[in-house]
Amino acid sequence: MQTLDRASPVPLWAQLAADLRERIGRGEFGERLPTEAQLLQEYDVSRHTVREAVRGLKDAGLLRAQRGRGTTIATSSELEQSLHGLYSLSRSVQTAGLRDHSDVLVHERRPAGEVAGVLEVPDDAEVLFIERIRYAGDEPLAQDRSWLPWDLGRRLRLADLEHGSLYDALLQRAGVVVTGGNERIRPAVPDAPTRARLALPRGRAVFDIERVAVGGGRPVELRRSQVRGDRYSFVARW
């Protein structure tokens, strides 16, 4: 049974959360998560550890617990993102059961220019610049522009970017684990080219999201996204 490694530096609760997330994704539990008592017996950890893991999944919007009733697996057919937890387009799209792929419009080496400061590279360094349109099913959902330091970006293949997550590719190609970051979300009126690429009617707004991802103690990606507001929203339950 032991998917949990007590010698690992990764906290037990995080390992447990990852395992539960995978099992939930496979539909192993149906609508209802096993009770805390069952989980602490199955994984042989304390109740606190189970609760810590489940808390993370609740915050991410995957679970919903009710005292006396049990913990149910949240089902959502809409494209929405819990206000708790990290924004992830791929996850939202996949949770909604839609196909997640990207058109790569630009994929080129460039001078770092104005992003040198944010990426903490020298002013005369080079970066990989990527521009993608991300789809949920057959309709465009977002425009992503990413800048990565060239020593990382050079490892990425174009195919990596058309399916799946850029961070998965970074891990597999460059051995870099994205461990943190920060992002800021604002509403915006898209400019004409963005509006065209997103097939968005006039007068509609988008989320404007700027993210700096950090791994191995340094910035590994600056990303600026415009996400269609008519297809995506943030949701909080409290």
Does the footprint of DNA cover residue 46 (CB under 7 A)? yes
Does the footprint of a second copy cover residue 229 (CB under 8 A)? yes
Taking CB under 7 A as the criterion, the residue among 24, 65, 96, 188 binding DNA is 65
Interaction pattern, residues 207-226, with a second copy; x per rule: CB under 8 A: xx------------------
Torsion (CA) 155, 106, 100, 169 in degrees, nearest 10: 10
**11, interface contact from a second copy, DNA, none, CB < 5-8 Å by kind:** DNA
Residues 177, 199: Cα–Cα separation, whole Å: 34
DSSP characters over 88-131: -HHHHHHHTT--EEEEEEEEEEEE-GGGHHHHT--TT-EEEEEE
Total residues interacting with a second copy, rule: CB under 8 A: 31
Does the footprint of a second copy cover residue 172 (CB under 8 A)? no
State the minimum distance, in angstroms, from the CB of residue 30 to a second copy: 24
Residues 156, 137: Cα–Cα separation, whole Å: 24
Does the footprint of DNA cover residue 111 (CB under 7 A)? no
Residue 169 backbone phi and psi in degrees, to 5: -65, -40
Does the footprint of a second copy cover residue 185 (CB under 8 A)? yes
If the CB atoms of residues 2 and 75 are measured against a second copy, the closer one turns out to be 75
Asked if 220 and 214 touch (Cβ cutoff 8 Å), the reply is yes
> 141 by DSSP, 3-state: which?
strand
Interface positions with DNA (CB under 7 A): 9, 11-14, 33, 35-38, 44-49, 51-52, 65-71
